[in-house]
Chain A
């Protein structure tokens, strides 16, 4: 059995199908973060939607304002409204990791997070980690080790790998296989990915900028 590196997002985060088309209730104070399972205080809630609501998201250090229906995922908001397309939509239900972004330092599946619930949190996408001219060490390691073929799973892998190495700077191969078990690749790049993660771990320890 494969294990995901983060706990499945809790509370409202994974219930979007249930909520589809209906107004939903969220806390007016700080939103529950994945894994923290902050209980919503009774009576301190308001109903959002179903019509689009204005929100401001902090993405790669910049504030971006937009209007979304409450049922819209962070992934769809990024891709369809903000044209931030590095995170990919593949399974759209928290299995493949192609949509991985970093939320307050933790890797999450952007397809399992509602955009409205990401408000107030720090969102980092692949675009924030580096550019093709200035590759993040993880990106460089993916290029060096040919850890990509079609490349569709790659941004998700790179982001997941960055978050993983932040928490596990000295991984063993077994750690890598466990820690990146929540990302899938159809072309079969795992051999390169294994090498890339270990190489990136070394480079990052060598004092290169991380993130």
Chain B
């Protein structure tokens, strides 16, 4: 491949890239000074609350807000549904109120009277037979001749039922916005993964509501966001409502969701259930797959796990998926949409087949790894994972045969993700006083985006990280894209590199004459601009910038869509494996995580420290959804029963066991350029933990979360109880 002036510096010439570097905004966050949307308190602020539907499905027959409107301290009341409208889940928004204080707004809600005509609803999708016309065929796939392959007398077939419950995003910072108008200009502070995209969303929706505003008059700011995980791409209806309330009241208004609403309505990861049949030859070679799957993320239904997962090259395949609409809050992208479900279904079914074949699952997956897009990567990653988890020593055939009531087991899963860099632009300014500013309409979800941008710019200028001022989180800066699908690091690193190289080259042009060399002979290293071949010809960065006199350099870098540039700054497509080591108390059904190991590739790593943090975090989120998380819906009332954090449990610091992360780096990975990392490591933990539990107790607990009651039921049914 032809080299290109924007290429990443070769390994030996990197001073920052690939090192473990502390995140740029660490001190601001750790000192409590970072201002999140929730923390924005402009003067004259009003607080908004939402009256929400108590019914899972109902027609509104009457709304009376007059008493609320008359309350002292209530500024604006906005009915967002009217008589005749239908609510489709408990929590649907009906009326918004803005008042002088949170307390008054809360009181006002109790004065609102809404009459409902209740309608039939459906909230428990696990039982497909009861779904009736809530179920819609979603997809089928046929390859080869699966029924013939299954009927071959020489194959070993495993059949089972598997599933993974719907969960919520449970961002610690609830969804919400602060909206402020100055004339026709709207400023929103929004807890969003999509700073550059929000102004036009606000503009569009507000114009539909009769508010006179153009997109260019909307500015969205999000310097810090307390979690998104795929649930914060849009303004959401409540975002539009708060802008309307602020417009009507002529005062800034803050509306952050209450925790119950956050869990009921601000995002769900769809459930997935499946009856799966899978077959291999006696030597373990996979030959056939058949799955009938279904699932739901709420109203109006969504989610379609790609089955079979990773090992898509199985020669004979039939699949059939049914999407179910339930009367629960709508689905949203949840870290690696559809993949954790696909992994839970596929890798658990394959693990059961490996057990039936009496094969070590790592050996089984390695043998079949070429049915995936990157067999060698998986084999290498599983080998490393096996070493880091002491697999040889700790793994045993199904069922821990040692005496005692606590059983130990090991499980493995593999996963894949794309992660191509999204469209991105980056403004890079060098000032005559030597200061450097990088401006981008992007956002840092806690993934380290701000730090990555700073590292790339600093590396390009041969400066320490502190010398670069990174400004993100404001739509007034050159537009990046939404942060989703692990596309951010690829996008921002490429646009920053290109902008920084262009800016640096402009500086070379300016200073070359004074050093008596050609611009192309200059390099920027260690705080100097110097001649490549003659380091005695040099100027300090500050001296060099002083040559700009009064004219700063301004460059704009863009990450071009793939194929449009000869430079390979980023790529797409990764593998990864997770290994779980668990102990199961067969008397109580409690599972204890002993150790989790993640082995992950993501191309060129810009900041090893924050990359590892992504993987640690993914393992922990994985433990959480494997053991605890489920949106529990009540069949009788249609309500979410655990719409609070006591009963919607997140793992605590003592629940997660030892955590080991290994990033694949160096030749084979490095030269691919940057690839996103947010999604992949969170995909496998559910399957790996379920497999480890099966390895421990000798029987499959069919559905995730692996709660004690289900463990005991599985033991009762056929294990070692």
Contact B39 A148 (CB under 8 A): no
* CB pair A135 B613 closer than 8 Å: no
A132 to B652, CA, bound (A): 27
Interface of chain B, main secondary structure: loop
Cross-chain contact A152 with B172 (CB below 8 angstroms): yes
Task: Determine the chain B residues whose CB is within 8 A of the CB of A146 once the complex forms.
Answer: 22-23, 26, 609-610, 612-613
Residues of A within 8 A of B433 (CB): none
Tell me, yes or no, whether B644 is within 8 Å of chain A by CB: yes
- CB of A86, distance to nearest CB on chain B (Å): 3
Interface residues on A, range: 35 or more
| CB-contact partner of B644 in A88, A93, A178, A192, under 8 A | A93
Q: Are A80 and B102 in contact (CB under 8 A)?
A: yes
Q: Are B101 and A95 in contact (CB under 8 A)?
A: no
Complex Cα spacing A85 to B40, Å: 9
B107 on the A face (CB < 8 A): yes
A85 neighbours in B (Cβ, 8 Å): 32, 35-36, 38-39, 41
A150-B445 contact given A91-B259, A93-B646, CB 8 Å threshold: yes
* Contact between B172 and A90, CB atoms less than 8 A apart: yes
Please tell me if A142 contacts chain B, counting CB pairs below 8 Å: yes
Minimal beta-carbon separation of B656 from chain A (angstroms): 6
Give Cα A30–Cα B618 distance, bound, in whole angstroms.
Answer: 47
B479 within 8 A of A: no
Interface residue B84 (Cβ < 8 Å from any Cβ of A): no
Nearest residue (CB) in B for A2 is B652
The answer to the question of A188 belonging to the interface, with a C-beta cut-off of 8 Å to chain B, is yes
Assess whether B31 is in contact with A148, with CB atoms less than 8 Å apart. no
Total interface residues on B, using CB and 8 Å?
A: 61
Which one of A35-43, A153-161, A203-211 is at the B interface?
A153-161
A151 CB contact (under 8 Å) in B34, B644, B651: B34
Contacts of B645 in A (CB 8 A): 90-91, 93, 95-96, 184
A34 to B41 Cα, complex, angstroms: 30
Contact pick for B32, options A76, A91, A155, CB 8 Å: A155
Chain B residues with Cβ below 8 Å from A143 are: 22-23, 26-27, 30
A89 close to B644 (CB less than 8 A): no
- Interface residue A187 (Cβ < 8 Å from any Cβ of B): yes
Q: Quick one: which of A130, A183, A184, A191 contacts B659, CB cutoff 8 A? A: A191
Kindly identify which residue among A71, A125, A129, A188 contacts B620, using a CB–CB cutoff of 8 Å: A188
When the two chains form their complex, are residues B446 and A132 in contact, meaning their CB atoms are under 8 A apart?
no
Which residue, B26, B32, B103, has most C-beta atoms of chain A within 10 A? B32
Contact between A139 and B30, CB atoms less than 8 A apart: yes
- Chain A residues near B234 (CB, 8 Å)? none
> Chain A: which residue is nearest B33 at the CB level?
A132
Assess the B618–A188 pair: CB atoms within 8 A.
yes
A135 and B659 within 8 A (CB) = no
For residue A163, CB closer than 8 A to chain B, the reply is no
Instruction: Please name all residues of chain A whose beta carbon is closer than 8 Å to the beta carbon of B33 when the two chains form the complex.
Output: 86, 127, 131-132
Cβ of B654 under 8 Å from chain A? yes
Contacts A149-B446, A151-B29; is A181 near B653 (CB within 8 Å)?
Answer: yes
- Which residues of chain B come closer than 8 Å to A190, judged between CB atoms? 616, 620, 651-653, 656, 659
- In the assembled complex, the Cα of A191 lies from the Cα of B614 at a distance in Å of 11
| Cβ contacts B154-172/A at 8 Å (1 or 0 each) | 0000000000000000111
A8 sits at the interface (CB 8 A): no
Q: Which residues of A, 37-79, contact B by the 8 Å Cβ criterion? A: 69, 71-72, 76, 79
Q: With a 10 A CB-CB cut-off, give which of A96, A155, A180, A188 has the most chain B CB atoms.
A: A188
Q: Which residues of B contact A132 (CB under 8 A)?
A: 27-28, 30-31, 33
**B646 engages A95 (CB within 8 Å):** yes
A139 to B28, CA, bound (A): 10
By a CB distance below 8 angstroms, the chain A residues around B28 are 132
Minimum Cβ distance to chain B for residue A181 (Å): 5
Q: A71 and B103 in contact (CB under 8 A), knowing A139-B27, A148-B26, A151-B34?
A: yes
Give the chain B neighbours of A80 by CB distance below 8 A.
Answer: 41, 47, 101-102
Least CB distance from A65 to B in Å reads 17
Question: How far apart sit A79 and B38, CA to CA, in the bound complex (Å)?
Answer: 9
Q: Is B364 an interface residue (CB 8 A)?
A: no
Asked if A104 is at the interface of the complex by the 8 Å CB criterion, the answer is no
Q: Is the CB of A152 within 8 A of B652?
A: no
Q: List 17 A-B contacts (CB under 8 A).
A: A79-B41, A88-B38, A93-B644, A93-B645, A132-B27, A132-B33, A143-B22, A143-B26, A143-B30, A148-B23, A151-B446, A181-B654, A185-B172, A185-B653, A186-B171, A189-B620, A190-B651
| 9 more CB-based (< 8 A) A-B contacts, given A95-B644, A176-B653 | A85-B36, A85-B38, A143-B22, A148-B446, A149-B613, A150-B173, A152-B227, A186-B171, A190-B651
